[in-house]
Structure formats: C-alpha cells, structure tokens
Structure 1
C-alpha cells in the first residue's frame, strides 16, 4: 500500500494514506492525557495508529494494542510500529472493538484507553467506504466505545476521548452508563470566546462523580493550552 510519512516531535514516523490519515483532533487528544511509561494502553478506532505512535513519541513503552476495523489502516500502524525504534511494544490488531475483550486475559488488563471515534450520526456518508466508516458511527457508536473500554480497563483505569460539542450530553450519558465517570474535560476553540469545535474528556472506571473543567485548549496559533 502506498503511503506518506509524517514525523512527530521526537522523530517517530507515522504512515498515512488516503482515508487513513489523522487530524488536529487526534493530536489534541494525545496531549490531553497519555499513559504512564509502562502502562498497558489501548488505542481504539486507531486508524493509522496515530495515538499509539504519539504516545510512543512521548516515551510510552508499555504494551499497547491498537484496535482498528479497516485492514489497510491497521497495516499502516503495524508497519510504523516495525519501522520505529523500540516500536515492538505496539500491536496492531485488525478487528471490531464491539467484539474486543469479551472474555479472557484481555478483560480488565488495561490501565489506559483512548478513542477518536466517528463523529457523525446523520447526513450523507462519503461514497468512499473507508472514509464513511471513519467519519460516521454506523460501525462504532460512542456507546460501543464506552462498553469496550469498560470491559478492557482495570478498576480505576482511564478512558480519554474527543467529540463534537453538540454530542456532549450523549457522550457523558454513555460513559456514565458504562461505569466510566467523567473526571476532567476541556473545550477546544480557535480563539478565546470563539464557538468550541471539539471537547476532550477523561473518565475513570468505577469512580465517584466529580468533574473538573480545565482551561480551554486554543488552536488559533497552533496547539496550546490555557486561555488569554
């Protein structure tokens, strides 16, 4: 499969192709929260593996499973893991997260999970099947993501995800219904006072309510945290 190479801050290579790239939202998510260096981590809807590779770029070396339904995108993740130094801790798993971790040693194994899920529930899907699957939630709803993370995470484990502000109520409801309590959140805006175009949330399995809103993430002059 023909691909392009994107280089992250510390030299990690990410392989991308049409329909299997990444955007600002994935990079924001990777910076909002990341696994500790030896955590067992899970990248759901991994695409080309951008979250797993961004964590690797930041020093993560614990076992990391990148679950992706599209075989071509999963192959790009596997190739990048092979070509990056010390990338062997990343396992690209081509499969459906709705069937992942139903039983066996994977269940309750992970310390940290993240997902940049399909955002759209309506509208006209792209004629490109791969792009449609990546953008529309016909094969992966936020409820599916929450249920998978709840199975995979240990007690107290974290799930972080990003989504569009208009879906915030549905996202929070799905997390709480799965036993994942939202603990940190932030809005993403181009400039102070602008309409938010994304939000980020971190939830923990089996914990009490208590949500902290963090300063806005501003992207108008590159990606940075804080207001003003």
Structure 2
C-alpha cells in the first residue's frame, strides 16, 4: 500500500508516521498520560489509529508489550512504518482487526491495561465527514462505547484497568457501558480549557471486577501561565513527564 506520509518527532529517539487521514490531537496525550502505564503491564490500545497512544508510552518506562488494534488498513500500515523506524518489533504489535472480533487474536483475560479514544458522536448525529477515516474516528459507525467496554472486559484480567476519554455529554453512556461490561468506574477527571470554563472532555478509568467507589479528581486545565500559554501540567504531559 502506497501513500504520502511524514514522520513527526515526539522525542529525539521516537517519531511517528502521520497522514491527513490518520493523525493525532491533544486528547491522545491526555489519555496516554491518564492511563498511568507501568513497566510490568501487558497493554492494548483499541481503535489505535496511527498508534499515538502506544508510542507515547514508549517515551518513558514503557509497558512490557503493547498491542495496537485498528480496523483501517492504512492506519495499520502507518503504524508498521512507525514500528520499523523506531525499532519496536516485538514490543509494539499492530493488529488489523475489528475490536468486536478479537477472540483468538489477542489473549483473553491477560491484559493489565486497555485504552480507547473512541468515536465521540453517536451514529447519524452531527455533520458527517466525506472522508471514511474521519467518519469512523468521529462517529459510532463501526463500534459503540458498549462494544469498546465489552471488548476491553474480555481482554482484561481481574483488576485490570480500562481508560477512555469522551465528551462530557456522553458521560452517562460511558459509565453505564462500563458497568454493564463488569468494569467498575473508579477515577474520573474533567478537562477544562481555562479555569471557570465548562469541561470539553473527561477521562475515566474503570477496573474489571472492582467494587463501586468513584474518585473525582481535580480538573486538568489546558491554558495557564506556562510556555506558549499552556498550564505547567499540560507542558509536563506533552513533554512525557510524570505529574
């Protein structure tokens, strides 16, 4: 498969292949950081696109192995180029598959961490893009949040974590889908552009088989008095630091 692409530098040692169809935004950095990966983790990113979330984990203390599941062949080809460029063979594994049909492809009940930056809009709502890649990424045309949570539940070991981000208006849908899949919501954090603004995103972590008890963390503020008008916390996240 031939296509035009470029490599964006994440660190002096790591770069990622991007195209107009498959690129990334701030929400990927926020989710990758919120997930709190550990060195011992077997991890999986569902609907991985160009693979930005797994690659961000490789900036510092990466999981022992990461699977990146994506249904779009072009995105998987991009990710293969990224793996080759960065020498991540055997550590970052691209998987071309529908996340609803992973039985036999990935080891069930073995994962410590699953993440997903899912489509934000319900199917047949809002303005649909003419590009298939954008429509799949933004609208629930190929999977729903229930599909995401059900797939994650099959992959996770007892106590394993599922982390997703979503728009605030979808909060009831996400919490309900998690609980229906046996993944109990445990941490919730809202993201605000500025102090006093309504949140534009939330991050939530659930644990498979955990007891009910939800911790609501302080909001993450995007703008602040740091470099280029960003908050110090966001700059730490962009830089790959632990905050």
TM-score (norm 2): 0.88
1:60 aligns with 2:62: yes
Q: Describe how 1:18-167 pairs up with structure 2 within 5 A.
A: 18-100=20-102, 102-103=103-104, 106-121=107-122, 122-167=125-170
Three-state SS of the structure 2 residue aligned to 1:201 is strand
Three-state SS of the structure 2 residue aligned to 1:99 is coil
Q: Describe how 1:1-16 pairs up with structure 2 within 5 A.
A: 1-9=3-11, 11-16=13-18
Contact 1:56-1:87 at 8 Å conserved across structures:
no
**Structure 2: gaps of 5 or more residues:** 224-228, 235-243
1:190 aligns with 193
**Structure 1: gaps of 5 or more residues:** none
2:237 aligns with none
Partners of 1:140 and 1:222 in 2: how far apart? 34
Q: In 2 relative to 1, CA 47–209 (structure 1 residues): closer, same or farther, beyond 3 Å? A: same
1:174 aligns with 2:177: yes
Q: In 2 relative to 1, CA 156–25 (structure 1 residues): closer, same or farther, beyond 3 Å? A: same
2:230 aligns with 222
Three-state SS of the structure 2 residue aligned to 1:188 is strand
Contact 1:10-1:57 at 8 Å conserved across structures:
no
Superposition CA RMSD, Å: 1.6
Q: In 2 relative to 1, CA 37–31 (structure 1 residues): closer, same or farther, beyond 3 Å? A: same
Partners of 1:203 and 1:49 in 2: how far apart? 22
Contact 2:106-2:155 at 8 Å conserved across structures:
no
Three-state SS of the structure 2 residue aligned to 1:14 is strand
Partners of 1:224 and 1:33 in 2: how far apart? 19
Per-residue deviation, residues 8-38 of structure 1 (Å, max 9, x unmatched): 2463111110110011001110111232113
Q: How many residues align?
A: 225
Contact 2:121-2:140 at 8 Å conserved across structures:
yes
Partners of 1:105 and 1:88 in 2: how far apart? 14
Per-residue deviation, residues 63-95 of structure 1 (Å, max 9, x unmatched): 211000110011111211121144530010011
